[in-house]
Amino acid sequence: MNSGSWRERWAWFVRLSGSWRSLVASVLGLLEAREKRVREEIEGLREEAGRVQAALGEAERVL
């Protein structure tokens, strides 16, 4: 079985590992961007919840 010289195998490995690193970096970038959007959405929902609670408290005082 001839699988090529060690240089050919090494070159193949280096090309493949570079592709994987690039793919992993891309996936991590997408996950970080999604996490940022979700955190911003959560912050907005917390602010809205605070406003709703304040309005509810005011409405209860009026009753």
The full DSSP string for the chain is -----HHHHHHHHHHHHHHHHHHHHHHHHHHHHHHHHHHHHHHHHHHHHHHHHHHHHHHHHH-
What tens digit of pLDDT does each residue of 28-38 get? 999 999 999 99
Report the distance separating Cα 50 and Cα 63, nearest Å.
20
The total number of residues written for the chain in this structure: 63
Q: pTM score, two decimals?
A: 0.61
What tens digit of pLDDT does each residue of 32-55 get? 999 999 999 999 999 999 999 999
